[in-house]
A = this chain, B = another copy of it.
Amino acid sequence: MATGVKIATIGGGSSYTPELMEGFIKRYAELPIREIWLVDIEAGKEKLEIVGAMAQRMWDASPYDVKVYMALDREEALKDADFVTTQFRVGLLEARIKDERIPAYYGMLGQETNGAGGMFKAFRTVPIILEIVEDMKRLCPDAWLINFANPSGMVTEAVVRYGKWDKVIGLCNVPVMATMVEPEMLGKSADELIYKFAGLNHFHWHKVADDHGKDITMEIVEKMYAGETGLPKNIHDIPFPRRLLEQMQMIPCGYHRYYYMEEEMLEHALEEYQTIGTRAQQVKKTEAELFELYKDPNLDHKPEQLGQHGGAYYSDAACESIASIYANKDTQLVVSTKNNGAVPDLPADCVVEVSAYIGGQGARNVAFGELPTAERGWLQVMKAMELLTIEAAVTGDYDTALQAFTINPMVRSGKTAQRMMDELFIAHKAHLPNFKTTIDRLEKEGIEVQDEVARELDLVNV
């Protein structure tokens, strides 16, 4: 066996790849990488080449001898890989633009992770991740899958439940940012605080104690109302109703704004929709700028602008997970992983997002104990929504998709919601082969995308 670690990164042409490289370079001492394979699809070839060259420059500027390969053929990249990271976006940012604009056209929230948009993202992503898992079973059966393709929790659940693959860790930058910003607020270092997270991806709560075990969650809440919040850039930053946090004695995650303050988040989303464009449209601009930077043959380190991006620190969490598994480091992270009882209000065999120690066997989840009534209820309906969404993605069943939309608290049920869903099916036709029958029917019924921007993208059908 060759010495050194082989990494395969699916969706390697992503603008986040330089952050990933930086994370690996920083950890080389404990994670001696031999080669990195950046995989992308034909449509992403140009970006892949830009970012691949940039990645190689970063390694060349480091003291380490690591080779970066670019591949359009997934199989070659997966062969004997030790770790596979997934950060691909089926349909690219264009798909996300549709996910956001089509609901907004109807005055509804698209929300690209747990909302209508996120559900379609799951419909597109789940079948691909399951193909990757099948490839891994053949080509690198001992490898770990480190997923940060969104919706990260649902994708991880699909890997475990339908892929029957347990060596997977799902990541998210939301808890990473909380555990970075909160200690700062208190003038402390991260290891002086004790964290306990529980819930689902983009739907979790956490508690914090100091190193003497004293609960200081409400001290942090105090600071949050005084100023800085530590939100990723893609969440509109408005304060939670303070009384709710006092009732909970926990800190909800940033995405919880869509549930605790649906009205305000919708208002904001519609305002952007009507003016500067939805979040995806903004991100697209940032991304284009990043790729311009990456083209510079002198640039050999991660540019500062990347840190402003919504997905910042995802890659760092990925690198840390990989290093922790490889070196059995027992680092604490918050990950999507098989529950095993850590959140006793959900079945032991489903995927949750919790505090865990990451080592040679993957995640060792910290048992959180039962949640209070309100959080328990919401968690249970959200997990049901996730399970139905994944089931629909796998079976291509329209009615199951409709049920998932109906119970999602972020979707107001009724004829408009169904119309919006139908248009999303049409818009994403190219990436939803499992739903072919449904889409054929909808086309026959004459369903057409109403939002012009989305419709034009639809013509390209990226």
- Which A residues lie at the B interface, using CB under 8 A? 192, 194, 196, 209-213, 241, 243-244, 246-248, 259-265, 325, 328, 330, 332, 338-344, 348-349, 355, 357, 359-362, 364-370, 373-374, 376-378, 380-385, 387-388, 391, 397-400, 402-404, 406-407, 409, 412-418
Contact = CB atoms under 8 A, between A and B. Distances in A.
Contacts of A403: 244, 247-248, 373-374
A192 B259 CA distance: 44
Contacts of A355: 364
Contact of A409 (B194, B261, B341, B409): B409
Given A359-B194, A373-B387, A377-B381, A247 B400 contact: yes
Contact of A384 (B212, B349, B378): B378
A343 to B, nearest CB: 7
A404 B328 contact: no
A246 B325 contact: no
Contacts of A376: 380, 384
A366 B355 CA distance: 10
A362 B213 contact: yes
A266 to B, nearest CB: 8
B360 A374 contact: no
A418 B241 contact: yes
Given A357-B357, A360-B209, A367 B342 contact: yes
Contacts of A374: 384, 388, 403-404, 406-407
A373 B388 contact: yes
B369 A338 contact: yes
A454 B355 CA distance: 49
B243 A360 contact: no
Contacts of A366: 357, 364-367
A417 B263 contact: yes
A205 B391 CA distance: 22
A261 B378 CA distance: 20
A421 to B, nearest CB: 11
B210 A415 contact: no
A391 B373 contact: yes
Given A263-B413, A415-B264, A368 B384 contact: no
A413 B259 contact: yes
Given A244-B399, A366-B367, A377-B381, 17 more contacts: A212-B360, A243-B402, A244-B403, A247-B397, A247-B399, A262-B414, A263-B417, A340-B369, A342-B342, A364-B366, A365-B367, A366-B366, A376-B384, A377-B383, A380-B384, A381-B409, A409-B409
8 contacts: A244-B402, A244-B403, A263-B415, A264-B415, A330-B332, A341-B342, A377-B381, A377-B385
A119 to B, nearest CB: 13
A107 B246 CA distance: 28
Contact of A261 (B259, B332, B381, B414): B414
Contacts of A404: 374
A325 B213 contact: yes
Given A328-B194, A412-B412, A213 B402 contact: no
A264 B414 contact: yes
Interchain residue pairs A-B with the least CB separation, the first 4: A377-B384, A263-B414, A341-B344, A340-B369
A263 B338 contact: no
A256 to B, nearest CB: 10
Given A340-B344, A412-B263, A377 B244 contact: no
A11 B355 CA distance: 37
